Structure formats: structure tokens, C-alpha cells
Chain A
Amino acid sequence: MTSPVLAIPKLKKSNRRPEMATQWQLMWWKFKKHHMALVGMIMLSLLVFSAVFAEILSPEIPTERNNKYLASGPMGIHFFDSEWNFHLRPFVYSRSTKRDPVTLRKIAVVDETKLWPIEFFVTGSPYKFWGLVETDIHFFGAKGGFVHLFGTDSLGRDVFSRSLYATRISLSVGLVGVTFAFILGAIIGGIAGYFGGIIDNLIMRLIEFIRSIPTLPLWLALSAALPREWSSLQVYLAITVILAMIGWTHLARTVRSKLLALREEDFTVAARLSGCTDMRIILRHLLPAFMSYMIVDVTIAFPEILLAETSLSFLGLGLREPAESWGVLLFAAQNVRSISHMPWLLIPGLFIIVAVLAFNFVGDGMRDAADPYSK
């Protein structure tokens, strides 16, 4: 519709000079208007932060087993004790071990008479930060005892620490997968858009074909075919490559269609007429024009890959222990019996939801911002 209203640039402050702004400035203004996208940005930053500093933030190392607290639930952090006295330093109640009279298994019970205060930057189990720096400093811990924010699994491992480590692996799988998908999509889409004709047609048919077959069963079958004796690093790489095959089609389409459209745009013709070299046209004019669309597609592809990795690992066909990803952690919660006894094993699932939500929010904001001249 060409009602004149739409011709009005949607910018609020009159001191903004839309006609003087660069494309990136326009995009940022538009992105900022998307409150959910900003929320998503913050959620993502938190996730990335905890992935980067996973070792420091977690009170325990993920393989550590706490025999005094097997398969037990989250420990609440308190400021008020049972007599309603306020403690400036938060604490957890201590736990003591008893034997269940019926099953004779060891169980942990809350002991409200003793408090374990939470302290920051405490020494704990030694680890190598990023496999490089050896240290034993943990961001927090309980003095005199232990703290399991999300409880422990059946082996007594801290679910909170494991979730943080898994965040690192899951996000990196997504990142590597998206990078592969990006490269694959850019090359294939570029070829289609650059050569056009029969090659373009074939590639488009291929994409249409891939999109019309149910992907998950296919990826399941592919990862099932990976040799069992492979190391976890090999499996990790193979899985990311398999996942990249999910994400590339969108990117390839975007690259192709933008390339085709931009080639005919007036500004490209104008640049060519004013004597720009092809390289300069591509770098100065075309790349910025569709970079924004590529970024949008990447933010959309990311959660897709994240979800696929989680599903594969959850079914036992993706990453496997000792590697930890959100899917691997949820693998332990696969049957009704374990969830009804240990519902806290589902907590890593919240990380997935938060991550995908964040990416979707940001992706929506980006999609609007990518076209700063649109309504």
C-alpha cells in the first residue's frame, strides 16, 4: 500500500537525522525499539558469560561425586534461619546422612541445627581453567559442607556445575555448527546466485528437496552410523557437521536471492557506471547490504541447531558422556521413573528453553532491524 503514512520514517526524536545515519545506526535504532530483543540480548550475554567462566562459576567440577548427597534435590539458599533470624551472609542448611530403614540406602536429610554459610571465591577442587591455568578458586561454595543448587544426579554429581559446563559445550556446538552452515550456505548460495541458469536451478531444486524431507530421522540415522569407537572429539566434530547440514539451506537461499536482487539494484548499476571495480562493489556495496540478512539467518539457524543437538544427544545418538551438553544431561532423565524421583534433572532443560527463547527474540529484533527502511 502506498498511503503516505508509510512514507514517514518511523523515528521518534526529531533530533535524529535519518537521512544522515549509516545503515548500522538505523538498524541499531530499530533494534533498540524491540524490547524483547534487548531482553534476549541480555539472556544471551548471561549464557555466554556462564559458558566462558563455567569452571570458576561452578562450585564443583562436573565429574566429582558427592557420596554424602546422592540423587538428592536442590539445596535452597536462605537468609532467614528456622527461628527467623536474619543472616547477612546467605547460607544453606547442613545435611547429614542416614540409612533408609527399608531400602537400606543412604539418604541425605536436612539438619536445621547447623548452617553452612555461602562464601565467595573459596578454594575447592583443583581444575584447569580453559585447560590452561591450574587453580582451585571457585566463585562460591559452602563453608564446612557443600552446596548443590540444582541437586545431584544418581552418582552424586552437582547438576548446577554440570549445567554450566554443558552450556559451554552446547553453545559451542551451536557456534561451530552455525559457522559450518554459514560457510556452506554462503558458498552454495553464492555459486547459485553468481552463475545463475542451470546451476542455480539445480541448487534450488536440491534445497527444495532437502527441505521437503523430514530431517530429524535422517540426522538420527546419520549419527547412528558414526563408528562407536570414535573419540568424543571426533563425535563432536561429526555431529556439528551433521547439524550444519540442517542450517545451511536458509542461508544459501538468502545469499542467492539477495545476490540476484542486488545485482539489478540501481545503486549497483550506479556504482558500476561510476567506475567501481567488481571487488569494490561487492565489498563496499553488496556485502553491507546483505550482511544484515545473513546475521538474521544465523540467529534463526542457531536455535535450530541447538535443538537438534539436544534431541540427538537426548536419544543417545549425539554427544555421549564424558562430554556434557544439555542433551547429554537430559539423557539421564529419559524415563518416568527417574523424573519422578529426581525432577531436578529436568533443570538443564530450562537452559535450552532460555537459550532458544533468547535467540528467537534477538532474531525477531534483527529481522525487523535488517530492513531499517521498512515500516
Chain B
Amino acid sequence: MSPSDQHSTALDLPPHMRPERSFQGLILALQRFWADYGCVVLQPYDMEVGAGTFHPATTLRALGHKPWRAAYVQPSRRPGDGRYGENPNRLQHYYQFQVLLKPSPPDLQDLYLKSLAAIGVDAALHDVRFVEDDWESPTLGAWGLGWECWCDGMEVSQFTYFQQVCGIECSPVAGELTYGLERLAMYVQGVDNVYDLNFNGRDGDERISYGDVFLQAEQEYSRHNFEHVNTDILFQHFKDAEAECQALLSAGARQMEEAGDGIHKVVLPAYDQCIKASHVFNLLDARGVISVTERQSYILRVRDLSKACGEAFLQTDAGGAVAKESQNA
């Protein structure tokens, strides 16, 4: 359970796995660190999301009283941040490494600092700071207090004590860490352009850069997001996802009534539709076809969905509900 003692430092690794020369090495080091702490290391959620927080392993599992520890990489899409591959720092698709610990352990700050050490950030050499940042996600009806974590003036992580998610008070409070992987990697690899990151830690012909993997995608998706995306279809998708989410929640509630066990039957699929609505909204927003006033109402509509999903989740096993003796049996 104690990761620091036996856990391998960056120096024990073969060169191609070291975080300071390999993007994937950095990811693997973080996974190893949090696996040693007892987290379930999950894989990315198989849907388009704006941030690692949307993964049900964070949003939904932050609710209810059951303890939970998870760590995972999540590709995150911010359509409006696309720069056609021309900006060295901004991407419309990037990776977050997400850790959720419920309840938040008393030594979470120390754990975070140890995880930095594990990827080669030496606190005797670098200026690590916790700078106030109140986190809020209007679409998730969520907020928390915490910090931006700075390393030599660069924001490398978000550190949040969740107070509310899906409009529901967190009880107990979960601690969330979000590492900006590209930024961290650029820092430890000492490169100025994200596309120059060494992805696989190899040299010469074997070297694969971040640009080799993602540059074309950034260009194409920027065109897609800003020029080609069919907004009529998106508006329809939004409506469909919203209706489907509500319909699934009703169906699950109906089945709960029939079973009489107090356990909601269709929460996770409903939440997928909430995620979808949120992403479609981001795309529409990036296209600039949503006015300021409409924008607020779209945000509220997604929030209503996430709230309904969160409330339903509390009526499931993972949400901490215990099935009542079935009265219909």
C-alpha cells in the first residue's frame, strides 16, 4: 500500500521507458505509481469527453459512500482549442492522467509530490507550488476547492477536493488529481513543441514522435471542428442524446418499481448519453453557432441530465444502495 518505499524510481528503468525521454514511459510510470498505491488502473472511457472528470469512474464513482480508488489515462477533446497543428502548446485532443481517491486520504498532497518524483521531478531542484484554483464544471453540476499545481511556473496538474458532483454533495469527499500529460512530458523531456515529444523513447529510425502520431489528426480534426462539422446533424444529435438519456432513466426507474428492490436498472447507459450531449454541445460551441444566451440554456440542459444520472446512480449498488427484499417476488 505504501508506494514510495519499494517503488522504482525513474533511474531504475531502461532508457526507453524513462519519463524524461519517453511519453509513454511517463504514462506507464504514473500508472505504476498509482497501481502500487492500490488504485484500479482503468483504461480510457470509450467515448468522446472534454476531460477525464467525465469518465464514469470519476463522475459517478465520486458519489455515494463506497470507497473508490482509480487511475487512468483519458483522451480529452476540446474542439475549440484546435490550432491546425500550428500551435506548439494547444491541441484539440490531448491526454489527461486522472486519479480519484474516495475518501480523500490525509496525505494526498504528499502522495502527489511523490508521484512527481516518480516521473523525475525532483523537489530539491524544482519549485513546486500549490496555487489557489477553485474548480467548477457547470455542465456536471460539480465544484470543488483545490489548486493548480505549478512546477517552475508551469501548471502541470489540477488538484481538487470534490464538494459536489451532479448537484449532489459528495459524502465522503473525494480527492481528484488531473495531470496534463503533454505539458508534463514537454517539461521533463525539455522540448518546446508538443509535436517534438519523443513518444516511444527510442532513437534514430525507431523514434516515434508525438507529431508522427497526432499531427495529421490535429490538422484534420481542426478542419472538422471549425469548418466541416454538420451543425444541423449536431443539433439533432444533442436532442436525441438528451431524449435518450431521459428515456433510459425512466425505463430504469420503471424496472426498479417493478422489481421493488429500490435498485435503479439503467444508469450507466443513460450517463453515456449525457456525455454525448456534453460533447456535441462543445462541438457546436466551437463552431460558434450557439449565442451567449442559448449557451447558458444548453449548459443547464446538460446539467439536468448529469443531475438525474447522479441521483439514479445513488440508487445502484456502486452508488452504495442496498437492494431491498423484493416485494414482488
Q: Tell me whether A and B are bound partners.
A: no
